[in-house]
Amino acid sequence: MSISSAYLASIIESSDDAIISKTLDGTVTSWNLAAEQIFGYTAAEMIGSPISLILPPDRQGEMQSILEKIKRGERIQHFETVRRKKNGQLVPVSLSISPILGDDGQVVGAAKIARDITERLARASKLREIEERYGDALWASGIGTWRIDPFSGMAARDERACRLLELPAELRECPLGVHFGHLSPDDRDRALRALENAARTGEPYQQDYKVVTPNGVRWVRDRGRLHEGRESGGAVLTGCLTDISEQAGVAQQLVTEHARLRSIVDQLPVGVMVIDLPSRRFALCNPAAERIMGRPIPDDLESELALRSGSLPDGTPYTPNDWPVMRTLLTGATVMNEEIAIRTADGRVKVIDASSGPVLGPGGQTIGVLATYVDITDRKRTAEHYRLMFERSPVPLWVYDEVTLEFLAVNQAAIHDYGFSRAEFLAMTIRDIRPPEDVPILIDRISKLEKGYEKLNWADQPERYWRHQRKDGSLMHVDIRSHSIQFEGHPARLVMSIDVTSKQRLEEQLRQSQKMEAIGQLAGGIAHDFNNLLTVIGGYANLSLMGLADDHPIRPHLAQIASAGDRAAALTHQLLAFGRKQVLQLRVLNINTVVQGMRPLLARLLREDIQLEMKLDPAVCQVEADPHQLEQVLMNLVINASDAMAAGGLVTIESQEVILDEAYVESHLGVKPGRHAMLAVSDTGYGMDAKTQARIFEPFFTTKPAGKGTGLGLSTAFGIVKQSGGHIAVYSEPDVGSTFKVYLPAATALARTADDKPAVTSVGGSETILLVEDDPGVREFAARVLRELGYTVHEAANGEQALRTGRILGDLVDLLVTDVVMPNLGGRQLSEALAPICRKMRVLFMSGYTQNAIVQHGVLDPGLEFLAKPFNSRSLSERIREVLATPIRPRSVLLLDGDAAVTALLRDALEMKGYTVAIAADGADAVARCRQKPVDLLVVDAIAPESEALDQIHLLSHELPHVRLVAIAGNWDDHVRREARRAGAHECLQKPVSLDVFLKTVRDLIG
């Protein structure tokens, strides 16, 4: 510390006045020894603490007002107020406060000097007491006396008067002119006139004036009256002189202070009126009072009250005697903060806060009334706005007392969601809406808040999620946000409660769904790889068996290999079912028919100690499903039920038509609302707890002993149901039993009910086949089988190689047999690229699992043929023959042109070349037709109004990428061409269109 700083600190510490500094938020930064002595707090206790510690509760608002002035750079001088000591006693102080400026000239804090004025006030009080008690005696006594003879014009003074006037003794008697010669020229004439008036009228004489003495100017009070003179026999004036210099100074200060206070009152935003009690006239009325009342204020109270019209907030009218000022006037009582609605002269309605209290005289008697008025119209309007926001919020809101935890206010949403009435809420604490086991956690949380360990705001609150209990006892999970507020004088918290019960349930379902999806992807991938291996293993095993005599010694071994391959294929089939990767052959069917057809088989599956009961609703709706897969689901569920009843029991199979509403859908992820057929399988077995139910559909999860099950039964059922667009749910309790419910959506359209493929009469042939497979083992096996059957086979290891071969062979290719998933160029893209080149080509896709290119949402795309891996020589040869026996579908063209003549011309030309032609009415119709039936080429007029084309058809480029698009237009400007390309146009033709050019374009695109 520098010498000057040390010197300054020494001065501060030695001061008898408390010297304090603080920041703009009221935090104390310095506290000298005098402050410790005056307030009782040590510097260690106060530095870093809020200055509000020494503020009485009724003076808390002073600090904010003072800080606002300091922030504006204002100084506060000799402000007398009251502060509180550490022991709770109040101490009167005089405050002088100045702003502290930082290096940049900005206000950064405040320096305050507090002087204890207890003794001064006591002395002043004592002086007033003496003055009141001895006022008459002091009035009669004089410091110096004088006598004036009006007739002789001589004046005489006593010694005390000469001393007061600092006159020599020889001037004790002097002419009247000399007597008044020591008066200030400003006062001389006035004093002479007053004296002459007293001599003439005999009235008492009193004058205050200034006298000029050798040592300066003094104020004296000159009092006298006319008496009969003993010596002269005539009337003389006698009186006394009192030195009032000090009083005159005080009086001047009072005048100045009065003017200052009046200026302050006049500038207050609060209306202030002071009524003199005897006269009932206004002694003071500031401009704010007239502004609030909206008119000038009369001179007397009765006239003012006659102009007032007011009412309570509930509409009760106000009489003149109801006003706080009159109640104080009549009873002497203080009336605080009464809200009154008034109507101003211009018709506006205001709400004012009116208060009044008595003005007491020196003896404690009421000498007047002080009335104050605050315009709270905007505040009430704002408060009402926030009240309505609070009350009408769709989210539950409440306010609770931070000390007692009692509810102070609740909104309608809280009443609705929690089931308690408003009165019930306000009689409760926040503990009462928690489950009993959660209350200790709540108390611990509140304790941390009270200790200041955590400062919370709306956005950053840990542990926001709680369980709350409704009136009916049900629990809900809520996201709690809160904020500290002051509510009707209480330290409180405003709380927002967001019900996240459904959200958390859906999030958990989503996590479970994602987990099952991930497992399904893994299962499908594994199955795909195994199917390639099993195709080779099983295929060559069967080929070997075909070439061996029945008594060959290695035939049994090969038979075991083939059998193991079949069992492995069945397992991968189950994995594909769970992963929703298998191909479903959908039919419109009645689930009752499927159940009844399986009754004999199910009866044989169940042990003798298990009964089978069926309750089938004859009115159940039809569904679209694969009957064989539905049989698999039913069988797996019945087997699972049987295994759950070691001691026997009852298996019940039920069917029913149900409506899944929005409420059910909201709580079950991925379920669609509407009509469903419900198939339920119930047992009376040992049941499952919640932990087991959460994993019951996971592949390889089983509660059975080792070697007693694969854990794929329920997961297979789960996958089949999901792939069929349905939903499966389990309801179970330990020692009660379980019910599995399968929900399948009602059929909306008829599906194929029978295959329309021609019967296979031969398994061999002489056609040319392009075989594409990236797995060498599968490719070699399939090629060998096909060549042995008489086919000409061209092999390709990938899509690019197959494309090159296809371009060479052209129309010689009768059948493309291709794997679906291959690097760079997949099977679907390959078939589309070869279609214009190999115009007689049919296509057979094969895969260990299917993607959306082959099976969209589990349904085989119309017109696409599929062979699932693993396959053997028989299934391969039969499938090849079926596809080759299917007639080649003519290429389909869809026309959309607003000109009927152009449309007819193009249709006739296309039909003459063997194309199937359809005509769309507009863009939406074109999109719908492409989705309903196979379309190879779409021809669109790019600027015809019917097309709206390019906006709607743009969707097809992503949804149906195999559909080719030709755009035609009479005027190809940059905008039209750009829009056509954006819609996915492969070619753009200029009208009028040359038929040769048009047909060549069609042939190049689709063959």
pLDDT given for residue 579 in this prediction? 46
Question: Which stretches of 24-70 are assigned E, i.e. beta strand?
Answer: 28-31
User: Which residues have C-beta within 8 Å of that of residue 230, sequence separation ≥ 6?
Assistant: none
Q: Return d(Cα 419, Cα 417) in angstroms, integer.
A: 6
12 or 987, which is more confident?
987
End-to-end CA distance of the chain: 98
Average pLDDT over residues 723-741: 83
pLDDT given for residue 481 in this prediction? 87
Task: Please give the domain boundaries of the chain with CATH numbers for all domains.
Answer: 3-124 (3.30.450.20), 142-250 (3.30.450.20), 275-376 (3.30.450.20), 393-499 (3.30.450.20), 505-577 (1.10.287.130), 587-745 (3.30.565.10), 768-885 (3.40.50.2300), 892-1006 (3.40.50.2300)
pLDDT given for residue 573 in this prediction? 57
pLDDT given for residue 427 in this prediction? 94
Pick the range with the lowest mean pLDDT from 364-368, 479-483, 527-531, 692-696.
527-531
**Continuous H helices in 724-836:** 776-788, 799-809, 827-834
Q: Return d(Cα 406, Cα 575) in angstroms, integer.
A: 58
**What does the block give as tokens for 51?**
């200055």
Proportion of the chain above pLDDT 90, given as a percent: 15
Give the largest CA-CA distance in the chain.
182
Q: Name which of 290, 287, 279 is nearest 262 in CA terms.
A: 287
Count of beta carbons in the 10 Å neighbourhood of residue 821: 16
pLDDT given for residue 320 in this prediction? 78
pLDDT given for residue 391 in this prediction? 86
Average pLDDT over residues 54-81: 87
Query: What is the phi-psi region of residue 239: left when phi exceeds 0, alpha when psi lies from -120 to 50, beta otherwise?
Result: beta
Q: For tokens 């008025």, what's the residue? A: 373
Q: Express each pLDDT in 267-324 by its tens digit.
A: 888 889 888 888 888 888 889 888 888 888 888 888 888 777 778 777 788 887 888 8
DSSP state of 636: H
Q: Return d(Cα 230, Cα 854) in angstroms, integer.
A: 145
Proportion of the chain above pLDDT 70, given as a percent: 81
pLDDT given for residue 569 in this prediction? 67
Count of beta carbons in the 10 Å neighbourhood of residue 791: 22
Most confident of 88-92, 125-129, 388-392: 88-92
859 or 480, which is more confident?
480
**What does the block give as tokens for 137?**
């005696």
Q: Return d(Cα 334, Cα 355) in angstroms, integer.
A: 8
Q: Return d(Cα 285, Cα 271) in angstroms, integer.
A: 8
Q: Return d(Cα 244, Cα 94) in angstroms, integer.
A: 27
pLDDT band for 135, please (50, 70, 90 cuts): very low
Q: Express each pLDDT in 429-469 by its tens digit.
A: 999 999 998 888 888 887 776 655 444 444 444 457 888 99
Pick the range with the lowest mean pLDDT from 51-60, 690-699, 748-757.
748-757
Give the CA angle between residues 166, 171, 174 to the nearest 5°. 130
Average pLDDT over residues 752-766: 55
Average pLDDT over residues 819-837: 83
Q: Express each pLDDT in 647-667 by its tens digit.
A: 889 999 999 888 887 767 766
Segment holding 950, helix H or strand E? helix 949-953
Average pLDDT over residues 821-825: 83
813 or 735, which is more confident?
813
Most confident of 338-342, 399-403, 923-927: 399-403
Distances (CA, A) of 573 to 570, 637, 718, 869: 5, 17, 14, 9
Q: Return d(Cα 566, Cα 561) in angstroms, integer.
A: 9
Average pLDDT over residues 877-895: 84
765 or 258, which is more confident?
765
φ/ψ (deg, to 5) at 759: -70, 145
Mean pLDDT of the chain: 79
